[in-house]
């Protein structure tokens, strides 16, 4: 049984599809990335699969349960962090988190609440109306994780967080994932998806255009960036390297062979500097979104 199963999910606004025949499957225990620019349909997909809005066509199953018929049971077992965080303005941080703990009938919740307050550097006494977007987002993330749901759905969770808090968030998500939590991560940040997701679906104009296995992508070849004038690129092509981009004195190559064959070529006097990295999702992203072709 998959944690998420979407089949033909479609939502129309003024007869125009916001999402169109969305199909995707998320296995239990995965960190699944959902990538697309603003307006691509990410939030609409999430709201439809959580029964916050009714789809015009298609079906969503979460944890083996129907998103419409079993919405109440799904909410007991699923955590959700919205991209647009809102709370009652006069409630304090501690009041919100205590309310979450009581609502989910959590035992010994004080220790966990105190842990997250320290982890995310949260001011427990401030009212929601006094908090910045980033601090509100930290409260929302804590509220989503606190009940330890089977499935955690995050819509642009790092928006408003500084780099240190982003790092702490993903360290925590990795811990929960290792214990079995399934995490659905909607984002336009390619780097955070590449670093943490197992698989990722790309959505454009409401349609899923490809699904990438990130764990395999990390093991497939290297991107070699060369800086210098008059570099003998034909020698790199001879051993099987493909030129991704050549502009000015910078050349990017993709190479899937044995790196031991590349190393002697890097000693050429014309090469002023070089880097060897794993392929980036950005290469795929740009090809899919700017190139216009579905691959």
Tens-place pLDDT, residues 5-41:
999 999 999 889 999 999 999 999 999 999 988 888 9
Strands 207-213 and 57-62, bridge-based pairing: unpaired
- Count other C-beta atoms under 10 Å from residue 165's C-beta: 19
CB < 8 Å & 24+ apart, contacts of 6-9 = 6/45, 6/49, 6/58, 6/59, 6/60, 6/61, 7/58, 7/59, 7/60, 8/57, 8/58, 8/59, 9/45, 9/48, 9/49, 9/55, 9/57, 9/58, 9/59, 9/60
The helix/strand count (H/E) of the chain reads as 11, 14
Chain segment 48-70, per-residue pLDDT in tens: 999 999 999 999 999 999 999 99
Instruction: Give the residue, 139 or 286, on which the prediction is more confident.
Output: 139
The answer to whether 4 and 24 have CB atoms below 8 angstroms apart is: yes
pLDDT of residue 293: 41
Provide CB contacts within 8 A for 25, sequence distance 6+. 2, 4, 5, 6
Residue with the two structure tokens 């929302």:
140
Chain segment 85-142, per-residue pLDDT in tens: 889 999 999 999 999 999 999 988 999 999 999 999 999 999 999 999 899 999 999 9
pLDDT of residue 294: 40
């Amino acid at each position: 049984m998959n944690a998420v199963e979407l089949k033909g999910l479609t939502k129309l606004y003024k007869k125009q599809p916001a999402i169109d025949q969305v199909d995707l499957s998320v296995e239990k225990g995965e960190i699944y990335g959902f990538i697309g620019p603003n307006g691509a349909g990410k939030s609409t997909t999430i709201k439809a699969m959580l029964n916050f809005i009714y789809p015009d066509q298609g079906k969503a199953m979460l944890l083996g349960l129907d998103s419409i018929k079993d919405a109440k049971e799904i909410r007991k077992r699923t955590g959700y962090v919205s991209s647009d965080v809102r709370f009652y303005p006069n409630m304090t941080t501690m009041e919100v988190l205590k309310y979450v703990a009581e609502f989910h009938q959590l035992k010994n919740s004080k220790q966990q609440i105190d842990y997250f307050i320290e982890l995310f550097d949260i001011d427990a006494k401030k009212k929601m109306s006094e908090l910045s977007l980033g601090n509100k987002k930290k409260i929302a993330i804590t509220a989503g994780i606190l009940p330890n749901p089977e499935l955690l759905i995050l819509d642009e969770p790092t928006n408003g967080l500084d780099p240190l808090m982003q790092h702490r968030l993903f360290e925590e998500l990795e811990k929960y994932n290792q214990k079995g939590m399934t995490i659905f991560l909607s984002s336009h940040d390619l780097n955070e998806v590449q670093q943490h997701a197992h698989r990722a679906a790309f959505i454009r104009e409401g349609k899923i255009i490809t699904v990438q296995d990130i764990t395999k992508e990390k093991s497939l070849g290297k991107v070699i960036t060369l800086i210098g004038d008059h570099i003998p690129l034909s020698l790199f092509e001879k051993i099987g390297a493909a030129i991704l981009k050549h502009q000015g004195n910078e050349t990017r190559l993709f190479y899937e062979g044995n790196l031991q064959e590349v190393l002697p070529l890097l000693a050429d006097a014309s090469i002023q500097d070089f880097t060897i990295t794993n392929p980036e999702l950005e290469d795929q992203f740009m090809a899919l979104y700017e190139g216009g072709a579905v691959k």
